[in-house]
Structure 1
Amino acid sequence: MPIKKLKNGSYKVDISVGVDPVTGRRRRKTRMAKSKKEAEELYIALKHKYNSGLQPSQRNLSFNEVIDIYLDNCKLHNKPNYYQIQLYTIDKHITPHFINSNIKKLTHTEIRLFQKQLIDTGLSNKTVNNIMIILKKLFDTAINEKIIDVNPCDGVPNLSIPKKQMKFWTPEQFKAFIKLIDKNEEQLFKVFYTVAYFTGMRCGELLALTWNDIDSVRKEINVYKSLSFIKGEYKITPPKTKNSNRRISINTKLLEMLLEWKEKQKDILEKLQVSSSDNTFIFQYKESPANKDIFSRKIKTICARGEVEPIRLHDLRHSHVALLIHQREDYITIKERLGHASIKTTIDVYGHLFPNKQKETADKLDELF
């Protein structure tokens, strides 16, 4: 019986609320009431709460089949790197938890519990948010496939992420860093870091550069591709966004440094019996293109020789922006050099680096007194 009178005169309401969509076990809800009438009203309310709602589609697909559909779409419409990140995250965090789930019966409650379990494992808030974003996309796929009507991730808030202080090198720090590099033995690194610092290019864009991307007459670098390594093989893809296709003006000394390295590179490749041409990758020093890992690790090695605090490879891009702001360049110029999709992106990411104009404005008000 769903309603049972106890010896103390109170009533217990015990009803089945179906099967747990994650574990497959039957779930029950128990509530206490002071009178039979209250118990009956509570029973009706509980039954309505757990049995009402939109009926899911009659189409049946397992959770794993939905994952396959989602990943197929990822592979078709996104860069290989993006697909690999999605595949890794799903295999590591999502599939182990939801592998036996009934996708039609998963609710907001199960999603919140999953989020809590991720938090309890010690993952950072940013990582948990990224996993939840992918999970939401999986349910969006299920909606598109007419399997469910409502996304159970809706209404599950993202975790707050404390804003980290942006790291970058001042011109003085960069000069100190470059002086620690042996020009004869480490010319490749000297050129790579200098180009990164004075152009603000992303690492993948730098690695994808070939010599025919350098316009020596106009002193420009043509940026229209990116290089990444996936399972040991390099892939050339379009850059991050449509606006990332751009031409970056470079100074004369940087161009001279590049052309000097071009001659040195020929000698290095000839000794390895590797032919070179204008299609050779600029930062290639062996048969295959260079991997970003070698440039990431080398920063710490070089900094350890002196008193320069190491930064990440990507922070050289931030350093370029700080340099431009120091030279009083405007937002639009910076946006064009970085290849941002909109000026809003530039302001959101780097606005705090610009000098505060409030004191200057306040000082001008003195003229009115």
Structure 2
Amino acid sequence: MKITKAMKKQLQSTKKSQNLIIRGRIIWIDFQKGKERLRKSTKLKYSPVAFNFVKKNYEKYLENGAEIWLKKEFENYENSLTQKRLEKLDFPKEKPFKPLSFDKLIDDFLAEKSLLKFSTKRTISSHISKIKCFLKSKKIENVFDFQRKHSLDFANFLIKNGISSKMTFHQYFSTLNSILNLAIKQEILSQNVLFLPKVSMLKEAQKCPFSLDEVELLLKNSTGSLNTYLYIAFFTGMRLGEIFALTWGDIDFEKKEISVTKTLDFITKKIGSPKTASSYRVIDLLEVLEKKLYSLRKDSSLPVIDFNVNKIRTSYKTLLKSLNLKYRVLYNTRHTFASIMLSRGEEPMWVGCKMLGHKNLNETFKSYAKYLPKNVVERAKFLDELRL
């Protein structure tokens, strides 16, 4: 609950020996009993009259069970006061309650996100669009009208609207959570009642990498820009946008390195900064890829892949069909690099942090732990010496 100026003034007026707290509109006393510090509810809702009553009877409240009979005493005292006498009491008045609409809070939230990358803002906007639909369906216009039970309602709303991915489900809740947290920072709400329900029907995003034999098959049977794309994707683990933003000047054949400093936004067709700070990286140019690119090199300012992404996707889909391979989205080339390298014993730090651009190894292990080679060792061999 927001503490008003009126409440602050009354709290400051208490004696040093009296420590009063207002929590959830209830007046509490804070006192020392021996070496123990205790807090006790007076069971009285805050009002100027109630606050003065507690101040006057502070010592009585320290007795066990006193809050029960004192509450009745206060009710009798309050009922005895006439409206005229109440008006004469010189208590500061609280400001009238002003409701805040969710639309205004969302506008404030978007304003704070205005300096983010366009692609990030686009994702947030798509989340907010669904959040607004949900609020409208529940006739929730005011921020104060959102209750804890609405968390379950929001979860059911997302599921009914086709959200089955666990990651996407969590992202929607994260956006709504951030909006409600802003209300706390603005001192509109005292707490965020939203919680993330556990939903068993949600699916983890499935990675379906190609095997090394399938990689070889795809490279041998592809041509032109698709072939170049697949070589880069399979042997660097770069993201789609990073590959399409790559220019020949980013490739250093002498140092055998590739600098990843930009990405292509497929919606706006504009070159921007990489996904995260850790995505800025210098990766190794593996020999198999170096041989392929060296023969194709052009002017440093020209793109390495001079083909439309939609045409690449179409050619890729046709190639999979002709080879009778299961369809996988183009992004699986990144997962393929990680799975093959890790399963063949390459260092996770090199694979995850240097090549893929992960922030730390936790991110790598979270996504690719199952591909790490499992060495079979005999555990606790020393126990064989026991004579049991």
Contiguous gaps of at least 5 residues in structure 2: 1-93
- Alpha-carbon spacing, 1:144–1:367, altered in 2? closer, same or farther (3 Å): closer
Secondary structure (helix, strand or coil) at the match of 2:328 reads coil
Letter in 2 for 1:74: K
- Alpha-carbon spacing, 1:220–1:131, altered in 2? closer, same or farther (3 Å): same
1:315 paired with 2:332, answer: yes
Post-superposition shift, 1:56? 12
Task: Find the counterpart in structure 1 of residue 304 from structure 2.
Answer: 282
Partners of 2:153 and 2:383 lie apart in 1 by 61
Partners of 1:107 and 1:61 lie apart in 2 by 15
Partners of 2:96 and 2:324 lie apart in 1 by 64
TM-score of the superposed pair, with normalisation by structure 1: 0.70
**Pairing 1:266-277 to 2, within 5 Å after superposition:** 277=299
Task: Find the counterpart in structure 1 of residue 28 from structure 2.
Answer: none
Partners of 2:255 and 2:96 lie apart in 1 by 61
- Alpha-carbon spacing, 1:360–1:253, altered in 2? closer, same or farther (3 Å): same
**C-alpha deviations, 1:240-291, integer Å up to 9, x for none?**
222222111113342232233345xxxxxxxxxxxxx422221124xxxx43
1:257 paired with 2:298, answer: no
Task: Find the counterpart in structure 1 of residue 211 from structure 2.
Answer: 170
Letter in 1 for 2:322: R
Task: Find the counterpart in structure 2 of residue 95 from structure 1.
Answer: 132
Task: Find the counterpart in structure 2 of residue 189 from structure 1.
Answer: 226
Secondary structure (helix, strand or coil) at the match of 1:75 reads coil
Partners of 2:232 and 2:171 lie apart in 1 by 32
**C-alpha deviations, 1:291-320, integer Å up to 9, x for none?**
3x4433432210111233332212111111
1:63 paired with 2:102, answer: yes
**Pairing 1:109-188 to 2, within 5 Å after superposition:** 109-126=149-166, 127-153=168-194, 155-160=195-200, 161-163=202-204, 165-181=206-222, 183=223, 187-188=224-225
Post-superposition shift, 1:96? 2.2
1:212 paired with 2:249, answer: yes
Contiguous gaps of at least 5 residues in structure 1: 1-54, 264-276
Secondary structure (helix, strand or coil) at the match of 2:295 reads helix
Post-superposition shift, 1:209? 0.9
Secondary structure (helix, strand or coil) at the match of 1:108 reads coil
- Alpha-carbon spacing, 1:220–1:314, altered in 2? closer, same or farther (3 Å): same
Partners of 2:191 and 2:217 lie apart in 1 by 57
- Among residues 351, 356, 368, which one is paired with 2:374 in the alignment? 356
Partners of 2:265 and 2:95 lie apart in 1 by 42
- Alpha-carbon spacing, 1:337–1:57, altered in 2? closer, same or farther (3 Å): farther
Task: Find the counterpart in structure 1 of residue 258 from structure 2.
Answer: 221
Letter in 2 for 1:65: K
Task: Find the counterpart in structure 1 of residue 315 from structure 2.
Answer: 298
Partners of 1:298 and 1:252 lie apart in 2 by 26
Post-superposition shift, 1:190? 0.1
Secondary structure (helix, strand or coil) at the match of 2:179 reads helix
Q: CA-atom RMSD, angstroms? A: 2.7
Secondary structure (helix, strand or coil) at the match of 1:222 reads strand
* Residues 57, 146 of structure 1: 8 Å contact kept: no
Partners of 2:189 and 2:96 lie apart in 1 by 6
* Residues 57, 148 of structure 1: 8 Å contact kept: no
* Residues 57, 147 of structure 1: 8 Å contact kept: no
Letter in 2 for 1:225: K
Partners of 1:243 and 1:281 lie apart in 2 by 23
Letter in 1 for 2:255: R
Larger Rg: 2
* Residues 258, 282 of structure 2: 8 Å contact kept: yes
- Alpha-carbon spacing, 1:316–1:367, altered in 2? closer, same or farther (3 Å): farther
Post-superposition shift, 1:193? 0.7
Report 1 or 2 for greater relative contact order, CA contacts < 8 Å, sequence distance ≥ 6. Answer: 1
**C-alpha deviations, 1:58-95, integer Å up to 9, x for none?**
5543211111111122221x22111101112212x111
1:86 paired with 2:124, answer: yes
Partners of 2:320 and 2:226 lie apart in 1 by 13
TM-score of the superposed pair, with normalisation by structure 2: 0.67
Secondary structure (helix, strand or coil) at the match of 2:149 reads helix
Task: Find the counterpart in structure 2 of residue 75 from structure 1.
Answer: 114
After TM superposition, the runs of 4+ consecutive aligned structure 1 residues lying more than 6 A away are 366-369
Percent of residue pairs bearing the same amino acid type: 25
